[in-house]
Amino acid sequence: MATVTFDKATRIYPGSTKPAVDALDIEIADGEFLVLVGPSGCGKSTSLRMLAGLEDVNGGAIRIGDRDVTHLPPKDRDIAMVFQNYALYPHMTVADNMGFALKIAGVNKAEIRKKVEEAAKILDLTEYLDRKPKALSGGQRQRVAMGRAIVREPQVFLMDEPLSNLDAKLRVSTRTQIASLQRRLGITTVYVTHDQVEALTMGDRVAVLKDGLLQQVDTPRNMYDKPANLFVAGFIGSPAMNLVEVPVTDGGVKFGNSVVPVQRDALSATSDKTVTVGVRPEHFDVAGADSDQGVAVTVNVVEELGSDAFVYGTAQIGGEAKDLVVRVGGREVPEKGSTLHVVPRSGETHVFSTSTGARLSD
């Protein structure tokens, strides 16, 4: 068991001038489940491969526990990796697939059998040990790939989009299995996904990357409640947070007829004429038609989900038509074409600098 430290770790691919991963700084606690998330090309796999030793580190350092592993070959790092294409050996049984790394390492047969059987029990694969991979479902194959990593009893698990070959329903059940398995084994894990829902549901903490730069590393709750900047605000949450550019007036911020509180210091720190106000779809209250607060939203589309519904509409804010998404109760669904008065709930609004993207509100 061990901590993992990215200490200003940088990767610049040959022939490129821009780092794919730029001075990445994260300290991962012993036993923690850390999820790296971000859009395609942001540097998630590169970060993981640097930790695995599959990619050179051009600046900074990487440590596992108190060992500096920056320039150690992969085999000396005591890690096990589960990839998206877990590529099981088709001609070997499940048991042989799971024990292969131990066999290469020269572990004796009885010992291998014991470790494979233990892992199979944990993963509910006991009855499949003598089958070939082609006789397994996608989810079972995925568990064999996990089993291969588990039998090695590494200090750190690395997983790069291990669920992306599974269908939507299986992904949801398997992600719960992986998260609970990780908690049971207590092995420090770095998990890569581009899916923010997967990130929030699985991680003890989540690190958001964009263009090789770490945007925020935080618990799922803090990430959702206090996104550090406009990018994180728009990336985490589905449907996305409503982000509306509004003028700054007299040191205050107006969202339609509602005043959004923001500390004076924060506003005076920016010379911007406008700021961006963020409100999540579930943080609007529906007001009476005669309300002089908030904004009037013309309903364009309603997406019913049973328990609740998302209203996609248009509102006039600061003299411009803006698209807004509002979550309403499943039994209070407005008609298409009607008008809905909504007020951003106090304490649930976010204010960002439009020019730098930095969070200005508390």
Q: What residues make contact with ligand ATP under the rule CB under 6 A?
A: 13, 16, 20, 38, 40-46, 194
- Rounded to whole angstroms, how far apart are CA atoms 136 and 165? 14
- Rounded to whole angstroms, how far apart are CA atoms 360 and 268? 10
- Residue 281's binding partner among ligand ATP, Mg ion, none (Cβ under 5 to 8 angstroms by kind) is none
DSSP letter string, 316-358: EETTEEEEEEEEEETT-PPPTT-EEEEEEPTT-EEEEETTT-B
In the complex, minimum distance from the CB of residue 15 to ligand ATP, in angstroms, rounded to a whole number = 7
Q: Using the rule CB under 5 A, is 193 a contact of Mg ion?
A: no
Q: What is the per-residue burial (b if ≥16 Cβ within 10 Å, else e) of 22-56?
A: bebebebeebbbbbbbbeeebbbbbbbbbbbbebe
Q: Using the rule CB under 5 A, is 174 a contact of Mg ion?
A: no
Q: With respect to ligand ATP, which residue has the nearer C-beta, 46 or 155? A: 46
In the complex, minimum distance from the CB of residue 45 to Mg ion, in angstroms, rounded to a whole number = 3
Whether the CB-CB separation of 123 and 44 falls below 8 Å is answered with: no
Q: With respect to Mg ion, which residue has the nearer C-beta, 45 or 97? A: 45
- Residue 43's binding partner among Mg ion, ligand ATP, none (Cβ under 5 to 8 angstroms by kind) is ligand ATP
Q: At what angle do helices 168-185 and 109-123 cross, to 10 degrees?
A: 120
Q: Using the rule CB under 5 A, is 45 a contact of Mg ion?
A: yes
Determine the Cα angle at 66 with ends 65 and 69, to 5°. 85
Q: With respect to ligand ATP, which residue has the nearer C-beta, 13 or 100? A: 13
Residue type, 71: H
In the complex, minimum distance from the CB of residue 185 to ligand ATP, in angstroms, rounded to a whole number = 25
- Residue 318's binding partner among ligand ATP, Mg ion, none (Cβ under 5 to 8 angstroms by kind) is none
Q: With respect to ligand ATP, which residue has the nearer C-beta, 83 or 100? A: 83
In the complex, minimum distance from the CB of residue 189 to ligand ATP, in angstroms, rounded to a whole number = 17
Using omega within 30 degrees of 0 as the cis cutoff, is the peptide bond preceding 239 cis?
yes
Strand pairing partners for 279? 242, 349
In the complex, minimum distance from the CB of residue 16 to ligand ATP, in angstroms, rounded to a whole number = 6
- Residue 41's binding partner among Mg ion, ligand ATP, none (Cβ under 5 to 8 angstroms by kind) is ligand ATP
Summarize as ranges the residues that interact with Mg ion (CB under 5 A). Answer: 45
